[in-house]
Structure 1
Amino acid sequence: MTLTIPQLSLVVLIGVSGSGKSTFVRRHFLPTEVLSSDACRALVSDDENDQSATRDAFEVLHFIAAKRLAAGRLTVIDATNVQPEARKPLVELARRWHCLPVAIVLDLPAPLCQARNRERADRAFGPHVIRSQADQLQRALRSLKREGFRHIYRLDSLEAVESAVIERQPLWNDRRGETGPFDLIGDVHGCFEELCALLTQLGYVVEGGEDQPTARHPAGRQAVFLGDLVDRGPKIPAVLRLVMAMTAAGEALCVPGNHEAKLMKWLDGRPVRIGHGLAESIAQLEREPEPWRAAVRAWIDGLVSHYVLDGGDLVVAHAGLAEEYQGRGSGKVRAFALYGETTGETDAFGLPVRWDWAAAYRGRAHVVYGHTPILEPQWVNRTLCIDTGCVFGGRLTALRWPEKELVSVAARQVYYAPV
């Protein structure tokens, strides 16, 4: 059995005493990746079986786990973890550091575990302890998903334990191995003519017209779209066709914008407020066949919140991304990537007041984003916004990476009046 776990995750072993958890983690993980409750008891009391030191031991364990997760290190918890109150702080740790909690359950027969404990002189507890832990484990199996564990693996026999293989999987946003060169493109908002002109200026061969547009770069450069392809502009289906074709052919990457998130709600038939240009998307998409609209919905749903590229030196997200969220996966990470972070206030125009995260940014990676239209892109602490308001009569802008060269084309007209 192959157990696929995210490269950055908190792996929680769950099993009664004697189920072989420590042997399992020694076989599959580095010693530095494993935090053992027994070892932590020994650290604080010089005796790994001193149950009176359990509270202090878990304080140490949680502290070290937090430090590892903050540093982006996979962390494995070796303890019984059969009680919900033992698992709850671990799930909270994973959420705090925006990584996924994984449960590996060793559900072996209680008599086998009892026999193993009888062979260990340091385990002087009766069979009632194992029976109690086994009952708690069975209840845990019914609640792990509800508790927040994203991956759950149950090994219910010696054969399953012996044959288990751990496969570490990079997060979908981890594209550090891709070094470009890239052409990062700001918010398009249905400006198809300007997009074709910008791609042509960047050296791409654009063909096929509005019904079947394609684009490729003869030198192998890759476009990266920073979201908000839809709403407000005049040729939204054509923009979607082009970007979908480029991503399918490996000619481009794309992250979602807040406008794609809102459009997907409409495509799903969910209640949504028709504003900020969504009416234009609806009017244009309603003229398209239903199967194509379903393909658009599936494509948007598959977009990843952000990408870490070029050895970790480049991060792309629609609204930017603070350092603590880069290369991680959680609802909070996705929300920041889509919307940025607001103060909860609104300005004189009724627009949300946004926290200036870029002013406080001190990360190593360069972060390139869009979302908030500006007149002129300027680097701020290794961050750069390249939304220059094409749909509002401004320009459509791209950043060539790693050259850090800005390229832009002027809007042909004002398509949507800005507030």
Structure 2
Amino acid sequence: MARRNSLSHIAIPERSLVVLIGPSGAGKSTFARRFFKPTAIISSDACRAMLSDNENDQTVSAAAFELARYIAAKRLEKGLLTVIDATNVQPAYRSDWIRLAREHHLLPVAVVLNMPEQLCQERNVQRADRQLDASVITQQCLQLRRHIRDLRKEGFRHVFELHSEAAVAQLETISLNPLHNNRQDDHGPFDIIGDIHGCYDELCILLEQLGYVIDREQCRFISAPVATTANGYTTFRKPVFLGDLVDRGPQSPQVLRLVMHLVENGYALCVPGNHDAKLLRYLEGKNVHLRYGLEITVAQLAGETPEFLEEVKTFLDRLCSHYVLDDGKLVVAHAGLQENMQGRASAAVRDFCLYGETTGETDEYGLPVRYNWALAYTGTAMVVYGHTPVPVPQWLNRTIDIDTGCVFGGSLTALRYPEKTMVSVPALRQYAVPVRPVGYPDNGSAPQTATV
């Protein structure tokens, strides 16, 4: 259901496609000019004028909407807030804007000016430039109200309804909120840690080698190492966990406790891995197969309190798919991220962050065949990721895979940023056998990737 808003302020994502919805005479153009930059507004009337020198020329409406869509696509490609000023009272027109937003991995927002029909008719009569037949406005009002409850089902992530002149007058500001993945003002320095998979002892050893003080028994953080930034300021280093905290290893609950303590107290950042996402689905009561190590985690969690399980569920549910850090120079995601998805939000972005890019096929092991997305990466941001175990960290086109397969008998690796140096600790033993073979330097095998 659309949300009626009678507040003085509403907030929308800074990167979004805002679709104004309302009959002619509802005040959409005035509303757009009041709250948004002129360059952000794409008006169907203006597009008609560009094509015919007459914004009232309905014979060019189809071409005008093609032009509007083209301009909107170019803005969304650059991640710019874009506002569509048209009636948009029919679901078919709105669905096209929703598709466009999704194509560019941005959030569609609906702002509904659901004004009384009488007001719209009065404004129509007063217009000197164009008057529509009264039946047109009546039909538009009916079309709007017939489907207004379905806007979220259509795909709008945020819906705001203003239903009177007073509500519009009361609205003072519309703020543009950064997405949760936008942490460009966080400059670190960071210690980015690859897939842990329940290897708690190795995690503690690695953190201690990096200079952190940990209470291993209580799974608590005590202190972080001090660093001096390039401009001479003193700050603390911050761990960044690349996900796959759980499964296959011996102590997933302990890993969760420590990482949750670090993140929830603002000492660290964490993105989810595909194993973490699957555990969340299990905790939510979804039907998931207990395999690929999840059965081990479930058994380990059987002795935990319901309160702890609820805390884990809440923690995993709140994790952000990826982060853009250090003025956009650094991106962290579990399985990596293409340039056109960085700093954006959609189901496709989250899936890529969790699983990488797949072909839709399966291999002889029954596992997804993946594209090596990093081969074609040309972005300016450095992307640090894990997900696919490798014998040693692998640089490729400003990306680096630091999942060195600790749970498979490899090592647990941290990339220190901005230094770009590696710190690794060897696995204390091999806890699991990969479904696909993987070679490590100590066994003489040729480097191969393994499933995760």
Query: What range is the shorter-chain TM-score in?
Result: over 0.9
Amino acid of the structure 2 residue aligned with 1:184: I
Q: CA deviation at 1:215?
A: 4.5
Q: Which residue is equivalent to 1:69? A: 76
Aligned pairs for 1:63-212 within 5 A: 63-164=70-171, 165-207=173-215, 209-212=216-219
Q: Does 1:414 align with 2:421?
A: no
Amino acid of the structure 1 residue aligned with 2:111: I
C-alpha distance in 2 between matches for 1:415 and 1:319: 22
Q: Which residue is equivalent to 1:282? A: 298
Give the 3-state SS of the residue equivalent to 1:143 in structure 2.
helix
Q: CA deviation at 1:344?
A: 2.6
Distance 1:210 1:382, change over 3 A: same
Preserved CA contact (<8 Å) 1:215 1:242: no
Q: CA deviation at 1:125?
A: 2.2
Aligned pairs for 1:368-383 within 5 A: 368-383=384-399
Q: Which residue is equivalent to 2:327? A: 311
Structure 1 residues 81-131: Cα deviation after superposition (integer angstroms, max 9, x where no partner): 111122111111011111111111111122222222212222232222211
Distance 1:418 1:143, change over 3 A: closer
Q: Which residue is equivalent to 1:297? A: 313
Distance 1:233 1:61, change over 3 A: same
C-alpha distance in 1 between matches for 2:188 and 2:253: 27
Structure 1 residues 235-291: Cα deviation after superposition (integer angstroms, max 9, x where no partner): 111110000000011110000000011111221222211111111101110011111
- Of 216-225 and 340-349, more deviation after overlay is shown by 340-349
Q: Which residue is equivalent to 1:347? A: 363
C-alpha distance in 2 between matches for 1:408 and 1:388: 9
C-alpha distance in 2 between matches for 1:161 and 1:82: 19
- Of 158-167 and 23-32, more deviation after overlay is shown by 158-167
C-alpha distance in 1 between matches for 2:197 and 2:305: 21
Amino acid of the structure 1 residue aligned with 2:384: V
C-alpha distance in 2 between matches for 1:217 and 1:160: 50
The two structures have a TM-score, normalised by structure 2, of 0.91
C-alpha distance in 2 between matches for 1:55 and 1:418: 56
- Of 64-73 and 264-273, more deviation after overlay is shown by 264-273
Q: Does 1:399 align with 2:407?
A: no
5+ residue gaps, structure 1: none
Q: CA deviation at 1:400?
A: 0.4
Q: Which residue is equivalent to 1:10? A: 17
Q: Does 1:34 align with 2:41?
A: yes
Preserved CA contact (<8 Å) 1:213 1:238: no
C-alpha distance in 2 between matches for 1:309 and 1:151: 26
Amino acid of the structure 1 residue aligned with 2:334: H
The two structures have a TM-score, normalised by structure 1, of 0.98
Structure 1 residues 337-381: Cα deviation after superposition (integer angstroms, max 9, x where no partner): 001111233334443221010000001111000001000112100
Give the 3-state SS of the residue equivalent to 1:142 in structure 2.
helix
Give the 3-state SS of the residue equivalent to 2:395 in structure 1.
coil
C-alpha distance in 2 between matches for 1:318 and 1:65: 31
Structure 1 residues 133-164: Cα deviation after superposition (integer angstroms, max 9, x where no partner): 11111113122111111111111111111121
C-alpha distance in 2 between matches for 1:218 and 1:384: 24
C-alpha distance in 2 between matches for 1:116 and 1:344: 54
Amino acid of the structure 2 residue aligned with 1:235: Q
Q: Which residue is equivalent to 2:266? A: 250
Amino acid of the structure 2 residue aligned with 1:168: L
Preserved CA contact (<8 Å) 1:186 1:226: yes
C-alpha distance in 2 between matches for 1:364 and 1:85: 38
Give the one of 26, 37, 49 matched to 1:19: 26
C-alpha distance in 2 between matches for 1:138 and 1:346: 47
Give the 3-state SS of the residue equivalent to 1:375 in structure 2.
coil
5+ residue gaps, structure 2: 1-6, 227-235, 436-452
The RMSD of aligned alpha carbons is 1.1
Give the 3-state SS of the residue equivalent to 2:396 in structure 1.
coil
C-alpha distance in 2 between matches for 1:215 and 1:314: 27
Give the 3-state SS of the residue equivalent to 1:291 in structure 2.
helix
C-alpha distance in 1 between matches for 2:56 and 2:298: 65
Preserved CA contact (<8 Å) 1:189 1:391: yes
C-alpha distance in 1 between matches for 2:218 and 2:264: 16
Amino acid of the structure 2 residue aligned with 1:97: H
Amino acid of the structure 2 residue aligned with 1:370: G
Q: Which residue is equivalent to 2:240? A: 224
Q: Which residue is equivalent to 2:376? A: 360
Amino acid of the structure 1 residue aligned with 2:94: R
